[in-house]
Amino acid sequence: MLQIGMAWQRELGPCIVATGPTVQPLVERLGLDWTLLQLGRGSNAGVIRVDEQPVGEDDHLREFFAATRVGAVETLRYQALARRQDLLFEPERVLADLGRIIDAISPDRVLVDHVAFGARLALHALGVEASSIVLGHPTACPSEGELYGLPPVWPSSIHPAPDELAELTSICATSTADLTEASNDLLDRLAPERPRISDLTSLPGSPTLYMYPQELHDPDRALPTGSASIGSLRRQDTSTPARLPTGDGPLVVVALGTFLSARDDVLATAVQAAHLGGWRLALASGSTPVEQLGEFPAGSVVAEHLPQVALLEHADVLVTHGGNNSVTEACAAGVPMVVLPMSTDQFAGAAAIERSGLGVVLDPNDLTATDLAAAVSAVLASDASTRVDAIADAIARDGGPSRAVRAISRL
């Protein structure tokens, strides 16, 4: 979203960013104004470490990571059961805080993260028409017949049992109903003149923006009226990294995102696969200590955080958890993927990559180094690079922050 803010400031005028305090230095470093709006218990301004979270949130993260090691359904089940506390945090306080911000600033336009449900509810209560942006896979904004947190489609390598899927469906339906009931309770108490909400999780914006390439979207899946796909919001960093992996094999970037870099078992398997496949390895270790990952191939580049956008300009394959930011950055750079989905909308996103021929999907909880090395080889031998290059061209022609600014300014 900061990319959109900078584009707005360049093209149309001042932009003020409302976030929690940990993001303030980054916002101000980019030349944007900042104001405080705390929407959750935890903080996410880079690599996520359990021991740096507030009391309570640390245990929550430990339980989440444990669930990912069990499998897809257990992870989604855990997230659904925690949703009321996670996604609608202190709604009365958020309404009061956001009301003061709106009164003080009188903004011409407002852009809100679709899954910042507390802020979305507050804006609805205040009668402020806002644009929203879906920063995850488009299924993060459920279409008719879908439930938030329940993948409408799964990649071929992950097969939930029918009874597990039925239970997950029931839990997701209940969590959505709980969010909606809590939302309407707040409206009845604090903004009775405002319309009640039928489903907070699918509430559209004016317009709804999708950080996702149009070419990857299922054409049979309906989107809200007036919505726009803006491709990628990758950071503007295409300089050569300080050091590239050396050697003769394919350059493979392994990155599991800010949260899931805690999966040391998956990262260690990737290191073993790099030996088998003769990769030039660039690996983001995140919150996992590098000494837990074994011996790296000679010439590897390993760091807590890598300049991913810059590295993708040189990469042959990205091994990823399937987070939408990484997926869209890879698409914009024309890099095919091996996807290891673990939570939330990553399963639907992985299925779209598989359907579009942009890569291979493996189950991270049934992963061997041999499987991963073979998957990278299969991607390199396929036409995935040609397919993703075509999407990169489309994103370059008419995507990104400037397209978002145009859509928002038409409100």
Six token digits for residue 342: 């673990």
Mean local confidence (pLDDT), 195-211: 96
* pLDDT score of 83: 83
Range of weakest confidence among 8-22, 78-92, 179-193: 78-92
Six token digits for residue 76: 């989604």
Mean local confidence (pLDDT), 359-370: 98
The tens digit of pLDDT for each residue in 284-317 reads: 999 999 999 999 999 999 999 999 999 999 999 9
Tokens 């359904």 — which residue?
A: 73
Six token digits for residue 354: 């598989």
Task: State how far the Cα of 363 lies from the Cα of 354, in Å rounded to an integer.
Answer: 13
Contact criterion met (CB below 8 Å) for 255 and 326: yes
Which helix (H) or strand (E) segment is 283 a member of? strand 280-284
The tens digit of pLDDT for each residue in 373-406 reads: 999 999 999 999 999 999 999 999 877 999 999 9
Mean local confidence (pLDDT), 217-244: 86
Q: Shortest CA distance to 410 belongs to which of 247, 207, 257?
A: 207
* pLDDT score of 52: 47
Six token digits for residue 315: 């990469």
Task: State how far the Cα of 321 lies from the Cα of 293, in Å rounded to an integer.
Answer: 17
> 109 versus 397: which is more confidently predicted?
109
- Mapped onto helix, strand or coil, the DSSP state of residue 376 is helix
Quick check: do 2-231+399-409 and 251-398 share a fold?
A: yes
Task: Give 40's pLDDT tier (boundaries 50, 70, 90).
Answer: confident
Task: State how far the Cα of 49 lies from the Cα of 262, in Å rounded to an integer.
Answer: 8
- Mapped onto helix, strand or coil, the DSSP state of residue 197 is coil
**Mean of pLDDT over the chain:** 93
Q: What would be the CATH architecture of the domain defined by 251-398?
A: 3-Layer(aba) Sandwich (3.40)
Distance of CA 375 to the CA centre of its chain: 23
Q: Which are the contacts of 57, defined by CB distance < 8 A and separation ≥ 6? A: 41, 42
Six token digits for residue 282: 């660039």
Contact criterion met (CB below 8 Å) for 224 and 142: no
Six token digits for residue 351: 């299925």
Mean local confidence (pLDDT), 231-245: 79
Q: Is the pLDDT confidence value at 51 over 80?
A: no
Q: Is the pLDDT confidence value at 57 over 80?
A: no
Mean local confidence (pLDDT), 266-276: 98
- The CATH number of the structural domain formed by 2-231+399-409 is 3.40.50.2000
> 186 versus 43: which is more confidently predicted?
186
Contact criterion met (CB below 8 Å) for 336 and 312: no
Contact criterion met (CB below 8 Å) for 94 and 39: yes
Name the region of 335 (left: φ>0; alpha: ψ -120 to 50; beta: rest).
Answer: beta
Task: State how far the Cα of 391 lies from the Cα of 372, in Å rounded to an integer.
Answer: 25
Mean local confidence (pLDDT), 277-285: 98
Strand 317-320 to strand 301-303: parallel, antiparallel, or no bridges (unpaired)?
A: unpaired
* pLDDT score of 60: 79
* pLDDT score of 306: 93
Six token digits for residue 264: 């040391």
Range of weakest confidence among 54-68, 88-102, 249-263, 324-338: 54-68
Q: Which DSSP symbol is given to 150?
A: S
Q: Shortest CA distance to 118 belongs to which of 78, 83, 77?
A: 83
**What's the pTM?**
0.93
Asked whether the bond before 155 is cis by omega within 30 degrees of 0, the reply is: no
Tokens 């005028």 — which residue?
A: 13
> Which of the listed ranges 49-53, 57-61, 357-361 does the model predict with the highest average pLDDT?
357-361
Domain limits, the chain = 2-231+399-409, 251-398
Contact criterion met (CB below 8 Å) for 335 and 310: no
The number of helix segments (H) and strand segments (E) in the chain equals 16, 12
Q: Is the pLDDT confidence value at 187 over 60?
A: yes
First to last CA, the chain: 18
Task: State how far the Cα of 354 lies from the Cα of 410, in Å rounded to an integer.
Answer: 35
Task: Please report, as a single letter, which amino acid is at residue 286.
Answer: G
Contact criterion met (CB below 8 Å) for 282 and 265: no
